[in-house]
Homo-oligomer: A and B are copies of this chain.
Amino acid sequence: MKFEITKESIELLRELVDNKKTKEVTEIMMDLHPADIAEAMDDLTVEEAKFIYLLLDGEKASDVLMEIPDNDRKRFLRVLPPEFIASKFIEHMDSDDAADVVAELDEDVKKEVLNEIEDVEHSGDIVDLLEYDEDSAGGIMAKELVLVNENWTVATCLKEISIQAEEVDEIYYIYVVDDSQKLKGVLSLKKLILTPTNTKISNIYDADVMKVNTDARQEEVAELMDKYDLVAIPVVDDIGRLKGRITFDDVIDIIREEAEKDYQMVSGITGDVEPGDKVWEILRARFPWLLIGLLGGILGAVVLRSHEESLKEFTQLAFFIPLIAAMAGNVGVQSSSIVVQSIASGVKDVETTSRRLIKEILVALSTASIFAVLIFFYNYIKQGEMALTYTVSLSLFIVILFASFFGTVIPMVLNRFKIDPALATGPFITTMNDILGLIIYLLIGNMFFGLL
């Protein structure tokens, strides 16, 4: 029977755990993938989860630990003694995961855990990795890889691989280095299998290998691996020595993370909101942008108050306030998100800034014209006051132009100054354009109602 994660099966698991049915729980866990165990644990109490952890062997326990959400992991590790963290988890992890977990620990616990690790090479690797910035290639790479010397033969190579491969989950590529550990090229397992065993490695490896420097930004690495469909990429230091490798699963994580960040920005949420979050965590993520919205609204009220007389005299002006604000907001968000997406998609910017601006101006002019005409006809047919009809059309026209302009330019400028352009999407641009739109509308309204 295969255990599947459903509401019922989790209830059953919980019952077994609560009744300390060690044998049954162990059997279920044996069959389950770490990712599924982590998912099941998400619905258990800390005590119940601890019970399950104690039943898992080191390899599986550490895999499960890597699958649970960051916050839960931190909370969980805080209640465990350093020697337990070292022996049960860290010893069984790949160096990159181990470094991530160790980095999350408090400073004093961190030292204790590192000293408790029996395999000194492993703890050395972890300490090395902790040196790198966590968003750099060095920070996400793993030290585990299969590496051969260019002077070996295929036969030596195969023997060596059988030793090294113990520590590496998946090989993907074999990296070829010279005597000083400098990366010379790669070799695929396929090539190795298909070549006579007495051939020298230097004759068969592929020297044209994509690589990244340890201090490359993780987004650059993801972009490169995505563009060239690489399953793994070697990481080298400034003098070309092989330091580690980054695999496709890291790339998927980075791409997801980036996409989520941009999505949250445009929808006005700061930071990660996960399904299991507490009420106050969600509140905290939503508060900042709503506060900006509130301040913008107050500013809008101030602007309107300063035109109190006109509004009293020409009440109809008030009717189209929501329309102007909505259109200004929507146009601004559209423009800014197109810019952000084209930056995020990593397409090299061969289209020059000026050419892009000209295109955006054409789009803005067309949009502005179309909607100004549409609303003109609506008002004309409704046979309202002509002053209102002119005011709404003309100000909508101008507001769309301004909103497009700011929506396009602000993210571009932010990007130029190395600030995340996504900051300019969502509530920020909406609020700004709302107020601007209001001011333009009232000025034009005053003009027409004054004239006609």
| Residues of A in contact with B (beta carbons under 8 Å apart) | 5, 7, 10, 33, 35, 39, 42-43, 158, 161-162, 165, 170-172, 188-190, 192-194, 226-229, 231, 248-249, 251-252, 255-256, 259-260, 262-264, 266-269, 273-276, 279, 282-283, 286-287, 289-290, 293-294, 296-298, 300-301, 304-305, 308, 311-312, 315-316, 318-327, 329-331, 333-334, 336-338, 341-342, 345, 347-352, 356, 359, 362-363, 366-367, 370-371, 374-375, 378, 425-427, 430-431, 434-435, 438
Say yes or no: A325 contacts B323, CB within 8 Å.
no
By a CB distance below 8 angstroms, the chain B residues around A356 are 275
23 A-B pairs whose Cβ atoms sit less than 8 Å apart in the complex: A5-B350, A35-B227, A43-B350, A161-B194, A165-B194, A171-B189, A255-B256, A259-B259, A268-B334, A274-B342, A275-B347, A275-B349, A275-B356, A286-B334, A289-B330, A289-B334, A293-B330, A297-B326, A298-B378, A300-B319, A308-B316, A311-B318, A325-B325
By a CB distance below 8 angstroms, the chain B residues around A296 are 322-323, 326
By a CB distance below 8 angstroms, the chain B residues around A359 are 279, 282
Task: State whether A367 and B267 are in contact (beta carbons under 8 Å apart), knowing that A188-B170, A294-B327, A350-B5 are contacts in the complex.
Answer: no
By a CB distance below 8 angstroms, the chain B residues around A349 are 275
Overall SS of chain A's interface? helix
Say yes or no: A226 contacts B252, CB within 8 Å.
yes
Which of B273, B319, B327 is A304 in contact with, Cβ under 8 Å? B319
Task: State whether A337 and B283 are in contact (beta carbons under 8 Å apart), knowing that A345-B275, A431-B326 are contacts in the complex.
Answer: no
Task: State whether A267 and B323 are in contact (beta carbons under 8 Å apart), knowing that A252-B251, A275-B351 are contacts in the complex.
Answer: no
Which of B193, B275, B287, B325 is A322 in contact with, Cβ under 8 Å? B325
Q: Give the distance to chain B from A374, nearest Cβ to Cβ, in Å.
A: 6
Which of B10, B35, B231, B330 is A350 in contact with, Cβ under 8 Å? B10
Say yes or no: A286 contacts B363, CB within 8 Å.
yes
Which of B226, B263, B338 is A262 in contact with, Cβ under 8 Å? B263
Task: State whether A231 and B255 are in contact (beta carbons under 8 Å apart), knowing that A165-B194, A293-B326 are contacts in the complex.
Answer: no
Say yes or no: B322 contacts A297, CB within 8 Å.
yes
By a CB distance below 8 angstroms, the chain B residues around A170 are 188, 190, 231
By a CB distance below 8 angstroms, the chain B residues around A39 are 347-348, 350
Say yes or no: B337 contacts A324, CB within 8 Å.
no
Q: Give the residue name and chain of the B residue nearest to A347 (CB).
A: B275
Task: State whether A350 and B42 are in contact (beta carbons under 8 Å apart), knowing that A304-B322, A375-B294 are contacts in the complex.
Answer: yes
Q: Give the distance to chain B from A395, nearest Cβ to Cβ, in Å.
A: 12
The 6 closest A-B pairs by CB, nearest first: A297-B323, A267-B337, A259-B259, A300-B322, A301-B319, A318-B318
By a CB distance below 8 angstroms, the chain B residues around A226 are 252, 256
Say yes or no: B263 contacts A367, CB within 8 Å.
no
By a CB distance below 8 angstroms, the chain B residues around A374 are 294
